[in-house]
Amino acid sequence: MNMEAFLNPKDSAKFITENSQYVYVEKDGVRKVAGMLFDKVLEKDFSVAGWKSSHELNPQVVSEDAVNWVFLVDTLNFSFWSECEDLKCLVKYKDKMYSGYWSLCAAVNRALDEGIPITSASYYATMTLEQVRHAFRSDTDVPMPLLEDRHHVLNETGTILLEKFGGSFLTCVKQSGKSAKKLVQLIVENFPSFRDESTFQGTKVAFYKRAQILVADTWSVLEGKGDGCFSDISSVTIFADYRIPQVLVHLGAMKYSEELIKKLKEGHIFQSGDKQEVEIRGCSIWCCELICNHLLDLYKKKGKNMSEKINAVLLDYYLWDYARDHREDMKGIPFHRIRCIYY
C-alpha cells in the first residue's frame, strides 16, 4: 500500500481549491470567520480539554480502554445524516436521546453497560450481523444507516487489529513514535476502510477523514500527553465530512456555484469521487487551513505565538459543535448527501 502516490490531505486540498469549478473559498469570509473566532480560541471549548468537558459520552479517563473506545467509534464514524428531519435514528442512553454521531457513542456506551465487550477487537472481529443490529439498535423506527457495511468494517478491522497489533490500538499509537503524521500513515496502510482517497483531474488526492479524526480523538483522549503527545498535531487537517462545509458556507468563508446549490436543494445523492463532492471536501479543508493561518497571524500581530493553541483539529471540533448548536440558522444551506463508509 503506497500512500506516497497520493497527495496528503493538505496538499490535496490546495490542489483541489486551485482547480475548483463549483466551490470557491472566499478570502473576505475567511478573514471574517478568523475575526469571529479570535476571542473564542481562549475559551475552554477551544482546547484539548473541551473534548471531554463538553461531551459527556466521550471517555473521561486516560486509559488503554479509552483508546480502544476511540478506535472502535472512529472505525464506525461515518454516515449518520437522516433522509428526513422528522424521522431519525435515536439512541436512548441514561434517559437522554442522542442523534447523529452521538447515537453511535450512546449505543457503544449502552452495549458496554449491558456487559457486551463491544470495544474489544476479539469480540467485534467475529460479531454477527444480528449482534451488530442489536448493539446499534435504534430507539425509533429508523435504523442506524449502513448496518451491513458497519458489520463488514467491524469484522475486517477487528481481525487486523488482532493480527497486527495484538488487539489494542494503543500498540499502533506507540509505533507512531508520537507523530500524528506517522500514525495517520500506519492507520491507512493497515486498515483498508480508512483509505479515503480519490482522483481529481488525473491527480490522486486523499482526505483521510476517519484516519485523521482517529488521530485527533486519540490526542484528545490522552489529553495530548504521554503516547498522545504528538508534536506535529498541526499536520492534521480538518475532517472533511458533510457538516463542516455547510457551516463554512453559512459563515461566508466558502461559496457554491448556482448549479451546485440547485443540485443540493434537490437532494441529489452524490457518489464517492464525484467531481463536485471532491471539490466540496477539498475546499473545506483548504478553507480551514486559511482560517487557522489567519488566526495565527492576528495573534502574531499582537505579539502572541498561538501555534500550540490553534490548529485544524480544534477548529474542526469547534465548527462541528457550532453546526449542532446552529442547525436552525443553517436550514437554508443544504449539506451534500452521500452514503459511504468514509464519512
Q: Which residue in the block uniquely carries the three cell numbers 469549478?
A: 21
Catalytic entry in 241, 297, 316, 329: 241
Quote the cell numbers at residue 20.
475548483
Contact 330, 250 (CB under 8 A): yes
Q: Quick one: three-class SS letters along the chain?
A: CCHHHCCCHHHHHHHHHHCCCCEEECHHHHHHHHHHHCCHHHCHHHCCCHHHHCCCCCCCCCCHHHHHHHHHHHHCCCCCCCCECCECCCEEECCEEECCHHHHHHHHHHHHHCCCCCCCHHHHCCCCHHHHHHHCCCCCCCCCCCHHHHHHHHHHHHHHHHHHHCCCHHHHHHHCCCCHHHHHHHHHHHCHHHCCEEEECCEEEECCHHHHHHHHHHHHHCCCCHHHCCCCHHHCCCCCCCCHHHHHHHCCCEEECHHHHHHHHCCCEECCCCHHHHHHHHHHHHHHHHHHHHHHHHHHHCCCCCCCCCCHHHHHHHHHHHHHHCCCCCCCCCCCEECCCCC
φ, ψ of residue 306 in degrees (nearest 5): -110, 20
- How many other β-carbons are positioned within 10 Å of the β-carbon of residue 54? 14
- Annotated catalytic, 316? no
**Contact between residue 119 and residue 72 where contact means Cβ atoms under 8 Å apart:** yes
Active site residues: 241
